[in-house]
């Protein structure tokens, strides 16, 4: 098992991906075919069940992109099932403390490093070396979405086994009672980025196409550009408006 995104980020290179919200394996395949390097199935907020998640991973993998998923909770059973379905990394929402990060890393690593159970699932097709390489290749990506997490970002990112710090700017703004783009909101984003840089871990952020270059220039390496729902909606609206 090799994770090219982990390798690329470890070299300080930028990686461009996107999010999947439609609950459609075909949409994932189309996005992968378009050239995104990785795609994250949003199992926290959208209509994916485990079968759809696994089928979406198949579509992504078939087109040469890397399959990630955002979990709906921190339960070790949830994380193990998502990994057994074939995820190369998991974004874990609402991580606010180093203790939470330590528990998550343990749940996503096989013994003796962690407590992940030795199941089969779709990973049974990944080759005999899966269990010997998964601990090193699978990306653990805590998502920081409130000021407690921002203030603890350096400690969270210092946890051994954490691979990428992923920001949740939308929930961060809600938790702060501010609109996205407010100066205090932006200050919190930059504080998160500085913490990741200080401990030498890559930082990820969702962004628009228009703002992507700005975030890259700032030093974010894992760039989540929009999602297939927003892309479809935007293109459809522009087409209809032009026709009218």
Beta carbons within 8 Å of 42's beta carbon, 6+ residues apart: 19, 20, 21, 48, 69, 70, 227
Cα distance between residue 230 and residue 170, in whole Å: 15
User: Active-site residue among 45, 74, 94, 244?
Assistant: 45
Report whether the peptide linkage leading into residue 112 is cis, meaning its omega lies within 30 degrees of zero: yes
Decide: residue 233, CB within 10 A, 0-12 exposed, 13-18 middle, 19+ buried. Answer: exposed
Active site residue 74: no
Beta carbons within 8 Å of 207's beta carbon, 6+ residues apart: 215, 220, 223, 224, 225
Specify whether the CB–CB gap between 227 and 211 falls below 8 A: no
Copy the structure tokens of residue 164. 């990428």
Specify whether the CB–CB gap between 218 and 191 falls below 8 A: no
φ/ψ (deg, to 5) at 35: 120, 0
| Eight-class DSSP state of 172 | H
Nearest to 145 by CA among 106, 172, 119: 172
Cα distance between residue 70 and residue 91, in whole Å: 4
Residues acting as catalytic residues: 45
């Amino acid at each position: 098992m090799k994770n090219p995104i982990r390798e690329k980020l470890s070299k300080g290179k930028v990686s461009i991906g996107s999010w999947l919200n439609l609950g459609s394996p075909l949409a994932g395949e189309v996005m992968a075919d378009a050239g995104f390097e990785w795609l994250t199935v949003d199992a926290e907020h959208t209509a994916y069940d485990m079968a759809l998640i696994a089928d979406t991973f198949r579509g992504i993998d078939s087109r040469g992109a890397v399959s990630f998923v955002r979990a709906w909770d921190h339960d070790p059973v949830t994380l193990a099932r998502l990994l057994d379905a074939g995820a190369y990394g998991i974004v874990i929402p609402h991580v606010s403390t180093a203790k939470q990060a330590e528990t998550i890393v343990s749940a996503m690593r096989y013994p003796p490093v962690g407590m992940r159970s030795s199941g089969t699932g779709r990973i049974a097709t990944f080759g005999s070396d899966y269990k010997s390489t998964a601990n090193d290749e699978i990306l653990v990506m805590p998502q920081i979405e409130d000021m407690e997490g921002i203030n603890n970002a350096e400690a969270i990112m210092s946890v051994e086994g954490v691979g990428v710090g992923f920001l949740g700017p939308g929930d961060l703004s809600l938790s702060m009672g501010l609109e996205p783009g407010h100066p205090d909101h932006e200050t919190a984003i930059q504080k998160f980025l500085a913490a990741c840089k200080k401990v030498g871990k890559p930082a990820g952020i969702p962004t628009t196409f228009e703002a992507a270059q700005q975030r890259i220039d700032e030093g974010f390496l894992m760039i989540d550009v929009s999602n297939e729902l927003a892309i479809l909606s935007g293109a459809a609206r522009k087409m209809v408006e032009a026709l009218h």
